[in-house]
Structure 1
Amino acid sequence: MKIWIDADACPKPIKELLYRVAERKQIILTLVANRSLGHPTSMWIRSIQVGSGADVADQEIVRLLEVGDLVVTADIPLAAETITKGGHALDPRGIFFSEDNIRERLSVRNFMDDLRSNGVETGGPAAYSPKDKQKFANELDRFLTRQR
């Protein structure tokens, strides 16, 4: 199993937590972004810089993803593609996407996109909080425990 990070928008506290997990558990962690990202020097941590453009990083993750890999992303379409390909998807706020909930999340996302495209201000997500980080850490730990 490998861990992939949709790194352009991933909160820094989550990346830092994942760096420590990669080292401790000896799991290959790959950050994928359309800009250069610094990360600790480690045989377990890598980065891939892709070209600019919408969804280029997402497409690269899906291309390289193998069954059983974990993708850390808040991007619902990427999470859906990950699940379709046999991977696991975890939101940086600690929500696991699954076959049971991904269709509903895609529908809500598409509805909100339609509202925004018609000029309705929908606001953004709440600020990232320590509770979000803790929930993510707990879900990641449960997931990794089940994988061993």
Structure 2
Amino acid sequence: MQILVDADACPVKDIIMSQARDNDLTVLLVSSISHFSTKELPEGVERIWVDKGSDLADFEIMKLAYPNDIVVTQDYGLASMLLPKRCRILHHSGYEYTEQSIQRLVDSRHLSAQLRRQTRSSRVKSEDPFKHEPQTPFDELLERVIQEQLKKLKEIE
């Protein structure tokens, strides 16, 4: 089990690295080369650079993710592709992506697009698709998911 991070705009990388270290897990930070940094990373954290371009980090994460991995992303398109791989996918705001929340996101996006076409306005505010999902501070959510995944892996062994 590892933690993969869609790292370009992830505001909780320090929390992820700290909790991964505490639980002896590897972290892979996947970033566009346009966000290149020479900042040293802690032991157990690896940075993977991808070329500039739409969705290249997503494709790399898809390639690297395995069942039981934890992925942190804001991209629900990526989350929807990872769910069938049996990964646990978290949003930095404290939500876990599920089949139901992905469906709500897609439905909300579709309804907003319809309203924009009907009103010919680009300023249509959509309903918060996560309003029915339990929200937890990210550090608590990540720790709970790590412990659940570690317990699950021990039961498999």
- Could you tell me which amino acid in structure 1 is paired with residue 69 of structure 2? D
Aligned partner of residue 66 in structure 1, secondary structure: coil
Q: Is the 8 A contact 1:5 1:72 kept in 2?
A: yes
Residues 94-116 of structure 1 show CA distances to partners (whole Å, capped at 9, x for unaligned) of 10011232212222234446767
Q: TM-score, normalised by structure 2?
A: 0.76
Distance 1:109 1:33 in 2: 26
CA distance in 2, matches of 1:113, 1:2: 36
Rg larger for: 2
AA of the residue aligned to 1:103: Q
Task: Pick the aligned partner of 2:22 from 18, 24, 30.
Answer: 24
The reply to whether residue 137 of structure 1 matches residue 135 of structure 2 is no
Name the SS for the 2:20 alignment partner. helix
TM-aligned CA deviation for residue 74 of structure 1: 0.9
Indicate conservation of the 8 Å contact 1:77/1:106, yes or no: no
RMSD value over aligned CA atoms?
2.4
Structure 1 runs not aligned, ≥5 long: 124-133
Which ranges of structure 2 fall in alignment gaps of 5 or more residues? 126-135, 151-157
SS in 2 for 1:101: helix
Number of residues paired by the alignment? 137
Q: Which amino acid aligns with 2:22?
A: R
TM-score (norm. length: structure 1): 0.80
Q: Is the 8 A contact 1:69 1:88 kept in 2?
A: yes
Q: Which residue of 1 aligns with 2:153?
A: none
> Aligned residues: percent identity?
29
